[in-house]
Structures are given as structure tokens and as C-alpha cells.
């Protein structure tokens, strides 16, 4: 059975245009990757957990910030792995340089026997739609495009 993730897209209006907060995964595998490596803050849903509650939990864990609604549901997407991602958007702002991510431990370098701790998210930044669409994982791009269309209707 395919896994399910839930996440939040924080956006802000800057100089009359929306910008989207994306996160870059921490750890050695993504250290030198940029375009196509960023994501919305998201994570796997625990069995029986409410999807929106899971999205809020993941946002707190990955950024150290408390998301404030209202939350606008977006149409779910399916990633290349088959994982289904449910997402909600909300308007907010933060200083991305002040995020505080949870961490994970892994053997690094491989087969060394050494356990090293890494932040799950090593950085976050706001991007306009054009740049965000280049930075984000290709399968998640429709979430940003969908939100952009919804925001354009409101203006």
C-alpha cells in the first residue's frame, strides 16, 4: 500500500506577488543538490492520525514554528514513489534563517560504523512561483501552481 504524507504550504504576499516557503532536506545526500530537491514541509501520517493534524505536526517538527490557519485544502498529488501527498495552504511569514528542525541519525560515511546526527531540514526560503517551481521536487510543483491559481482568483 502506498504511503501517505501531509504538509503545509506557507505563503506570503510580497510586493503584491505570492511567495512560497520551501524547505531543503538535510543530511549528506542532499548537501550539493538544489534544483528539484526542495519540498513543502511534510511528512508521513501516523496510523489513525488526522491528515491536517499530521501536516501541522510536521510543520512544527521541521521548522520549529507554529502554523496558524485558516488552512486552505489543496488537491492531493502523487509522487514518483507512489506516495500520496495531502497539503493545505496558509498565509504567514517568518524569518527562514531562524528555523529549528528536528534531527535524524544515520551511519555516515556508509559502512563506517559512525552514527552522525543531521537536521531533517537544513534551510528554508521563500521563493516566487517561477523560482519555486525550479527548486521544488517536480511531483510537488502542481501544489504551488494550484495555490497560485487560487490566489490569483482572489486578487
**pLDDT tens for each residue of 39-65:** 999 999 999 999 999 999 999 999 999
Q: What distance, in Å, lies between the first and last C-alpha atoms of the chain?
A: 40
Per domain, the residue ranges of the chain are 4-25+33-96+123-154
**pLDDT tens for each residue of 111-129:** 999 999 999 999 999 999 9
> b/e for 91-118, b at 16 or more Cβ within 10 A?
ebeeebeebebeeeeeeeeeeeeeeeeb
Residue 155: the pLDDT is: 58
Share of the chain above pLDDT 70, in %: 98
Share of the chain above pLDDT 90, in %: 90
If one looks up domain 4-25+33-96+123-154 in CATH, what number appears? 3.90.79.10
Q: How confident is the model at residue 19 (pLDDT cuts 50, 70, 90)?
A: very high
Residue 43 C-alpha cell reads as 511528512
Q: How confident is the model at residue 75 (pLDDT cuts 50, 70, 90)?
A: very high
With beta carbons less than 8 A apart as the criterion, state whether 72 and 153 touch: no
Residue 154: the pLDDT is: 67
Residue 81: the pLDDT is: 87
Residue 1: the pLDDT is: 64
With beta carbons less than 8 A apart as the criterion, state whether 100 and 61 touch: no
With beta carbons less than 8 A apart as the criterion, state whether 58 and 120 touch: no
pTM of the model: 0.94
Amino acid at each position: 500500500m502506498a504511503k501517505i504524507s501531509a504538509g503545509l504550504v506557507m505563503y506570503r504576499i510580497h510586493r503584491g506577488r505570492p511567495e512560497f516557503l520551501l524547505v531543503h532536506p538535510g543530511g549528506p545526500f542532499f548537501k550539493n543538490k538544489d534544483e528539484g530537491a526542495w519540498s513543502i514541509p511534510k511528512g508521513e501520517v501516523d496510523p489513525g492520525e488526522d491528515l491536517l493534524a499530521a501536516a501541522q505536526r510536521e510543520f512544527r517538527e521541521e521548522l520549529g514554528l507554529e502554523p496558524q490557519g485558516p488552512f486552505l485544502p489543496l488537491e492531493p498529488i502523487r509522487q514518483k514513489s507512489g506516495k500520496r501527498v495531502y497539503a493545505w495552504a496558509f498565509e504567514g511569514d517568518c524569518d527562514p534563517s531562524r528555523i529549528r528542525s528536528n534531527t535524524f541519525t544515520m551511519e555516515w560515511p556508509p559502512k563506517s560504523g559512525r552514527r552522525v546526527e543531521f537536521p531533517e531540514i537544513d534551510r528554508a526560503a521563500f521563493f516566487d512561483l517561477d523560482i519555486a517551481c525550479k527548486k521544488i521536487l517536480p511531483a510537488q510543483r502542481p501544489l504551488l501552481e494550484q495555490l497560485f491559481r487560487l490566489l490569483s482568483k482572489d486578487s
